[in-house]
Amino acid sequence: MPPSVPNKIIHCDCDCFYAAIEMRDDPSLRGIPLAVGGQPSQRGVIATCNYEARAFGVRSAMPSSQALKLCPALLILPPSMERYRTASRQIMAIYRDYTDLVEPLSLDEAYLDVTGVDRCQGSGTLIAREIRARVARDVGITVSAGVAPNKFLAKIASDWRKPDGLFVIHPREADAFVSALPVEKLFGVGKVTAARLHELGVKTCGELRGWSKLDLHRQFGSFGQRLFDLCRGIDTRRVNPDQERKSISVETTYVHDLRTLDDCRRELGVLIEQLARRIERNDAGAWIHKLFVKLRFDDFSRTTAECVSATLDAAQCLQLLATGFKRRSRPVRLLGVGVRLADDAAMRQFKLFDD
């Protein structure tokens, strides 16, 4: 049998998308610290910010009040979703001009499978370069792109030379590239998990490869299998153009564990507010079918409590929290809340865009 042809996956990610659209439409905003998000007086959070703001430590998902403390000159604009959706439709149309295998992850981010595509001499690198040039010319913003043999590596590559960058990981280079990666670069490894790995003497993927599946499972539960694969650059997920949103959720991993149920209740209130805004942005309120609350405890065990509900009911969420917490009664390192959507929600095609 002839050798299999390596996959060519491109991950495209617009640079500070919401802020980029605002600066495109109002050039006077260029060069100043700018963010898009909610106002501090309404316990708002930052959706995105430009690189001038990031220089002060401002980040997405950060409370707006904290962002202003870091950068008092920060200008926070409310989101203008219709303009963002219009730009997103233009960008996705450019992607689909090269391949039907486009998997949008959000308004500004997508995977493309260009394996076997004849355009640009069949080169994933040349396709990514041409896509970036077209988006800059036709939409007026920049896109960073990564080209690699799988989705995991392509996503890492797109972030490697941000903003306005292109990075390619060739199949022959992938093993050595991943081996040298800090464990913080692995998908799903946040500050808490990274700190735990460092305590175990593991700082790079090469060092993590010395751990067996069994040992990783003992330390990290089911996530151990994922760590075992990712530190070797293994990712068999396909680019799925028909992916439908079946749930909407928010979650946070805490630097310091939430030790009591009351601690969890206070944090859940913040998460519920964030979830409500996300549901509103997606116009999904009419399609709520269930509520769920997810907890991951300090020993990495986890549980999810859910119930049928047609609305985002804070009281029901608190009851679910109490149910889940009681199952282990241990400190909580991750807390999440979300809604599952009715099956017929897909008929409205509200996944990312409005027609």
Residues with catalytic roles? 109
190 bridge partner residues: none
Pairing mode, if any, of strands 166-168 and 143-148? Answer: parallel
Give the Cα separation of 229 and 219 in Å (integer): 15
CA distance 49 to 43: 17
Q: Is 13 annotated as a binding residue?
A: yes
108 marked as part of a ligand binding site: yes
Question: If DSSP states are collapsed to H, E and C, what string results for 210-224?
Answer: CCCHHHHHHHHCCHH
Beta strands in 234-279 (DSSP E): 247-258
Q: How many CB atoms lie within 10 A of CB 336?
A: 19
Taking alpha carbons only, the member of 325, 320, 295 closest to residue 307 is 320
What does the block give as tokens for 246?
A: 């079946």
Give the number of C-alpha atoms closer than 13 A to the C-alpha of residue 158, restricted to the C-beta side.
27
DSSP string, 295-308: EEETTS-EEEEEEE
Element (H, E) at 192: helix 191-199
First to last CA, the chain: 46
Distance of CA 67 to the CA centre of its chain: 20
Known binding positions for Mg(2+): 13, 108
Annotated binding site: 13, 108
